[in-house]
Amino acid sequence: MEITGWGRFPKVTADVHEPVDFSSLQMLLTNNNPATKLVARGAGRSYGDSALAQCVISSRFMDNFSTLDESNLTIRCGAGVTLDAILRVCVPRGWFLPVVPGTSHVSVGGAIAADVHGKNHHVDGTFCDHLTAITLLLANGDLLSCSPSKNQEIFHATCGGMGLTGIIIDATIQLRAVPGAFIQSHSLVANNLRECFELFENNQGNHYSVAWLDCLARGPALGRSILFLGDHIADRHKRPAAYQTRLGITVPFNTPGFLLNRQSMTLFNNTYFKLKRRASKPATVKYNSFFFPLDNIANWNRLYGAKGFLQYQFLVPKDSAYEAIAAVLHKVAKSGKGSFLSVLKKMGPANKNYLSFPASGFTLALDFKFERSLLPLLEQLDEIVLAYSGRLYLAKDARMNEKVFKAGYPQWEKFAEIKRKVDPKGLFASLQSDRIGLTDALY
């Protein structure tokens, strides 16, 4: 069948298997033709081709919880369980996931493979920093338990390892108690990029911080943005903590891509900036509207039209972050190609995982409707990112080349060495891992 990542580019034909239990999963590995590469797929929320291969193994039915340890606040569940499902269980008990990305519809397996981060990276690190154990199915059919203290090397290769070390079967996640299901949030206005950087610097104490940025603003307004800050609080009205269901709307089909053009996007961004500038008072908001605003709109990826879209997320080290991001914004604003989703975030220090994206510095994510003329622009952006010793986020990528990857992830060789040990025949590979020279060239 034809499948894609969340960005709907590229589209490929693949054999997709949805094993319903462990024995049928094992059978898939043992019966696999050695020439066919496999990759695991969770909720399909990585944007590009990280979870695309000739043969795709979906964790859709590996979605059982196994234990909830109420005294140590840990939960063990299958790789196919979504963060949304975990919140359904935790929130009513007054607990929360220590790290959530911008959507709750990712699977635990995907969150581990991409070592996702959230608005609190500067305080709490990544999703994988809160795992107490994972179970991995290796290429030879064996199960391996690993953790920060057991089979450490394989653990650090699997966290952020994009599914290339094996198939993640289950994980044990450390939860945390929170005062309530609400977030005390307020927003601050930055009229340009410099102001935005200062605001990040001066508001380090907030648990959660992230900025929406108008990537189409030019001249003195370049980098104008709204910084959103938040902390968990109890509800003033003493309502018990409850899982918050959403009054969702659905985008039923692909909207014509031409609706997203320079004029419409500029209009949207101007309006959004002006509205948010007015409404910057502190407010108590539900956790889902703070963390997962886009989860309200099912299939929002269809807004970008049938050809799909690319997200370009890069990270640059702190010292030269301002120059690098200003240079990227100049290029993007000049091209007129950006869109409404541009997100800037100050990150904390890196962890020990070989291929994890986050490190001290700033990360900017930009969405672009797919069009042929986009690719040369992104290559120009790659050059800027490389010149400032930056890297691109694998979970968002669908097009970076081998050189950009290897320059951005200096520990790739260490990763490849471990991968050779656990997967000597090179069973696990994705279109992405082949493209960036992480798999094909190894064998």
Distance CA 97, CA 90 (A): 8
CA distances from 290 to 2, 8, 104, 383 (A): 34, 26, 12, 34
1 binds other proteins (CB under 8 A): yes
Question: Out of 12, 15, 18, 261, which residue is the one contacting other proteins (CB under 8 A)?
Answer: 18
Using CB under 8 A, which residues numbered 240 to 269 contact other proteins? none
For other proteins, the closer of residues 93 and 274 by Cβ is: 93
**413 near 157, Cβ under 8 Å?**
no
Distance of closest approach, residue 89 Cβ to other proteins, in angstroms: 6
Closer residue to other proteins, CB minimum distance, 84 or 367: 84
What does the alpha-carbon distance between residue 108 and residue 83 come to, in Å, rounded to a whole number?
A: 7
Residue indicated by tokens 């030269």: 320
Q: Choose the binding region for other proteins from 18-26, 44-52, 372-380, 410-418 (rule: CB under 8 A).
A: 18-26
Residue 264 is which amino acid?
Answer: S
CB 55 within 8 A of CB 17: yes
- 13, 21, 198, 202: which one binds other proteins (CB under 8 A): 21
Select 85 or 136, whichever has its Cβ closest to other proteins.
Answer: 85
Instruction: Give ∠ CA 182-125-329 in degrees, rounded to 5.
Output: 90
- Residue 253 or 258: the one with the smaller Cβ distance to other proteins is 253
Mask: binding to other proteins, 78-117, rule CB under 8 A, as x and -? ----------xx----------------------------
CB of 58 to other proteins, least distance (A): 10
Pairing of strands 38-41, 55-58: parallel
Stretch that binds other proteins, among 13-21, 185-193, 344-352, 406-414 (CB under 8 A): 13-21
SS3 of residue 14 by DSSP: coil
In terms of CB distance, is 66 or 401 closer to other proteins?
A: 66
Minimum distance between the CB of residue 18 and other proteins, rounded to whole angstroms? 6
Q: With binding defined as CB under 8 A, does residue 198 bind other proteins?
A: no
* Alpha-carbon distances, residue 265 vs 74, 117, 214, 259, 340 (angstroms): 43, 27, 10, 9, 6
Bridge-based pairing of strands 342-347 and 361-369 is antiparallel
Q: How far is the CB of 78 from other proteins (least distance, A)?
A: 8
CA Rg value for the chain: 21
Q: Among residues 13, 20, 202, 443, which is the contact residue for other proteins, using CB under 8 A?
A: 20
In 159-218, which ranges are continuous DSSP H helix? Answer: 193-202
89 or 133: whose CB is closer to other proteins? 89
Which tokens is 403 given? 């050189």
Number of residues binding to other proteins, judged by CB under 8 A: 15
Cβ-Cβ contacts under 8 Å for 164 (sequence gap 6 or more):
39, 419, 423, 428, 429, 430, 433, 438, 439
Window of 4-12, 20-28, 229-237, 384-392 that interacts with other proteins by CB under 8 A: 20-28
Helix (H) or strand (E) holding 83: helix 83-90
Given the complex with other proteins, which of 64 and 296 has the nearer CB atom? 64
Beta strands in 30-166 (DSSP E): 38-41, 55-58, 65-69, 74-78, 95-96, 131-137, 143-146
Residue with token string 């199960």: 143
CB nearer to other proteins: give 75 or 199: 75
Shortest spacing between CB 55 and other proteins, in angstroms: 14
Please state the closest distance from residue 414 (CB atom) to other proteins, in A: 36
* Distance from C-alpha of 326 to C-alpha of 46, rounded to nearest angstrom: 27
- Residues 44-83 contacting other proteins, CB under 8 A: 61, 64-68, 75, 77
CB closer to other proteins, 77 vs 365: 77
Positions in the binding site for other proteins (CB under 8 A): 1, 18, 20-21, 23, 61, 64-68, 75, 77, 88-89
